[in-house]
Amino acid sequence: MIQLDLGDRRPLYMQIKEKFKELIVTGAIKEGERIPSVREMANMLAINPNTIQHAYKELEDEGFIISQRAKGSFIAPISKVQNSSNNSALYKSLMDTVAELIYRGENLDDIMATVNKIYENIRKE
């Protein structure tokens, strides 16, 4: 489900958090679905439970999951995420990434095609 990359320079908890975000936003895990408990996850990845806890905490703060004591953690209703923030930081990231791709010689059509493909993949789910 989640694969840690030791070469990755980001802290472990952030890798885990962002991997979960990826699974959620691409629709691989859906609204209401349960994710492994902190302890299960810690066992699976063979790392300290505190690290998982940290990741889950931030996911909850950002509205992606909801943790219920003694029951587990669940993907939050999508409506919650949509209200919870303005998306200007994401648009900023989009602009920087696209500008760099163009600078590095990538074709506008290839970029557009990639964006379209992501959209199609998500719809299909």
Partner DNA sequence: GTGGTCTAGACCACC
Partner DNA sequence: GTGGTCTAGACCACT
Interface residues with a copy of itself (CB under 8 A)? Answer: 6-7, 11, 18, 21-22, 24-26, 61, 66, 68-69, 76, 78, 80-82, 85, 87, 90-91, 93-106, 108, 111-112, 114-116, 118-119, 122
In angstroms, the CA 24 to CA 28 distance is 6
Selected range binding DNA among 32-40, 84-92, 96-104, 105-113, rule: CB under 7 A: 32-40
Q: Which of residues 40-79 bind DNA (CB under 7 A)?
A: 40, 47-51, 53-54, 56-57, 60, 67-73
Pairing of strands 72-75, 34-35: antiparallel
Q: Are 1 and 34 in contact (CB under 8 A)?
A: no
Give the residue, chosen from 1, 5, 11, 113, that forms a contact with DNA under the rule CB under 7 A: 11
Determine the residue type at 15: Q
Closest Cα partner for 77 from 90, 65, 61, 92? 65
Residue 70 phi/psi, 5° resolution? 70, -5
In the chain, where do the E strands start and end?
Answer: 34-35, 65-68, 72-75
Examine residue 39 and tell whether it contacts DNA (CB under 7 A): yes
In angstroms, the CA 49 to CA 51 distance is 5
Binder of residue 109, out of DNA, a copy of itself, none (CB less than 5 to 8 A by kind): none
Q: Which of residues 95-124 bind DNA (CB under 7 A)?
A: none
Per CB under 7 A, residues contacting DNA are: 9, 11-14, 37-40, 47-51, 53-54, 56-57, 60, 67-73
